[in-house]
Structure 1
Amino acid sequence: MLVDSNVIANAGATALFAIEEVDKIANKKPEHVYIMLGSDDLLMPVDNPKKDYLENYAKLIKKIKEKMPKAKIHVTSVTPVTKEAMEREPRYKNIPDYNEGLEKLAVTEKIDYIDLSSIFEEQQNLYSKDGIHFEENFYPLFLDHIKEHIDSSDNIDGVME
Structure 2
Amino acid sequence: DTSEIEQEIKEIKRAERKAALESGEINVWAQFNDSVILGDSRAVGFEVFDCVDDSRVFADAGATIRKIPEYIDGIKAVNPSSIILCFGINDLSIGLWPTCEEYITEYDQMIQKLQEALPDATVYVNSIIPATDPAFQKSEKWREIPDWNEQLKAHFEETGVPFIDITEEVEEHKDLYDVDGIHMRKEFYLYWGNAIIMEVTENE
Structure 2 length as normaliser, TM-score?
A: 0.68
Uncovered stretches (5+) of structure 1, i.e. residues with no partner: 155-161
1:41 aligned partner: 91
- Contact in 2 for aligned 1:43/1:49 (Cα 8 Å): no
The Cα of 1:49 is off from its aligned counterpart by 4.8
User: In the alignment, is the contact (CA less than 8 A) between 1:14 and 1:37 conserved in 2?
Assistant: yes
Give 1:107 shift: 2.6
Per the alignment, do residues 24 and 49 of structure 1 end up closer, same or farther by CA in structure 2, a change over 3 Å counting? farther
Identify which of structures 1 and 2 has the higher relative contact order when contacts are C-alpha pairs closer than 8 Å and 6+ apart.
1
1:70 alignment counterpart: 120
Query: Cα RMSD (Å) of the superposition?
Result: 2.0
Pick aligned residue for 2:60 from 4, 7, 10: 10
Q: Percent identity?
A: 30
- Verify the 8 A CA contact 2:133 2:180 in the aligned structure 1: no
**Counterpart position of 1:159:** none
CA shift digits 1:79-132 (9 cap, x unpaired): 111132235421111102211222133134321001111111111222222110
Alignment of 1:79-118 (within 5 A): 79-118=129-168
Relative distance call for 1:120 and 1:47 in structure 2 (3 A) is closer
State which structure, 1 or 2, has the greater radius of gyration over its C-alpha atoms: 2
CA distance in 1, matches of 2:98, 2:174: 31
Runs of 4+ in 1 over 3 A off after TM superposition: none
- CA deviation string 1:55-77 (max 9, x = no partner): 22111100111011111111110
Q: How many residues align?
A: 153
Say yes or no: does 1:134 pair with 2:134. no
Runs (5+) with no aligned partner, structure 2 = 1-29, 33-52
